[in-house]
Structures are given as C-alpha cells and as structure tokens.
A = this chain, B = another copy of it.
Amino acid sequence: MRRRLFLSAERLIAEHGFELVSSRDITSDASANIAAINYYYGSKLALLVDIFRARAAELNGERKALLKAALAQQAPRIDDILRALIEPAILWHDPERQTALRYLNRARGEGPPEMQAILQNDVGHLARFVDAIESVCPALPREEIVWKLHFSLGVLHHNSAADYRRLENLSGGACDPGDRERLLERTLAFISAGFLA
C-alpha cells in the first residue's frame, strides 16, 4: 500500500501538476482510504518529499557513475563530462522513469517550498561537475564554469510538456521532442559550444 500511494502520487502529479492533485485524488487512484496517506507517511507533504528524494537520488546516482566513467578515460573531453550530466535526464524512457523525470521537472518549478529549499542547498553533485570541468579545462576560471553550468541546466530543464507544445506550435510540427537520442545530441552540441566559446 505504501508503494501504491507512492506511485499513484508520482504519476498523477507528473501528469497534472502539484497544485491540481489532492489527497483524495491520490488515495482513490491507489484504491486506498483517504486516511492512508497520513497513516503511512504522516502527511501529504512528507509523501511528496519522499518521492522527490528517492527519484533525485536515483538520477544523481546515475550521473555520478557516468561522470566517474568519463573521468576514467585517459583524455576526457568536456563533451563527455556534460554528457554525463544530461544523458540520464534525457534518455530515461521506460514509463516509470519518464514519469519520475516529469515529477522532478515539476518539483523544480511548482514544488512546495521545502523541495525548492533542497534544490537550492543540495549542490554537492553539481560541485563534482564543476571540479571535473575545471580539471579538463584548467584555463577556464571557476566563476566562468559555474555560470556556464547554470546556463546549461537552464537548457536541460526547459523540457516540460508545455515547452514542447510551444516548440511544436512554433515549428509547425517539424521539431520532434520524442526522438530522445537526437534531442540529446542537439542539447549536447548547444551547451558544448557555449563552454568552448
């Protein structure tokens, strides 16, 4: 039942957003009683933060592993490092992980203040990427690296369903965000160019 609440909450919020999903929506989707959320998680907020922590840890774990592999090469290039940052966030495409990604994306923008505080303060995993880029491009001042990483995350996070619908309206359907492999290459090309400028 705990797990069912977790998955229902995650899926409903990924689809409709944090503001539009009530405790009653979640418990009825999970075929549970209204009181179940408070019984298992203490509060609705605690459930949502639990989901957020679990999925963020999963994502950052993959990033960390890819970064380690990239740095283990004998001559790592900045593309490899940036790829380790963005690949999991673009290529997760089995249904459960895609849902998890949409949940995390929403949490960034519309999540409760407690989540936003975590996002602001937990920068350890990003600091690893700053260090990695510094080791590969010693000429780049650290301040410059942080700024460009900030811009790159802007590109990466600009990936909500609403953003895509605008993209398709603008291109008359020529741009297909469903082709994740090409999206990854396009994104990587764009931000790599920004770093090498």
Contact = CB atoms under 8 A, between A and B. Distances in A.
Interface of A: 19, 109-110, 116, 119-121, 123, 126-127, 130, 142-143, 146-151, 153-158, 162-163, 165-167, 169-171, 174-175, 186-187, 189-194, 196-197
Contacts of A146: 167, 170-171, 174-175
22 contacts: A110-B110, A120-B162, A120-B169, A123-B169, A123-B170, A126-B170, A130-B170, A142-B171, A142-B174, A143-B171, A143-B174, A147-B167, A147-B175, A150-B170, A151-B155, A151-B158, A154-B155, A157-B158, A158-B158, A193-B194, A193-B197, A194-B194
Contacts of A121: 169
Could you say which of A142, A174, A189, A194 has the most chain B C-beta atoms within 10 Å of its C-beta?
A: A194
Contact of A120 (B119, B165, B175, B190): B165
Nearest to A189: B197
A116 to B, nearest CB: 5
Contacts of A193: 193-194, 196-197
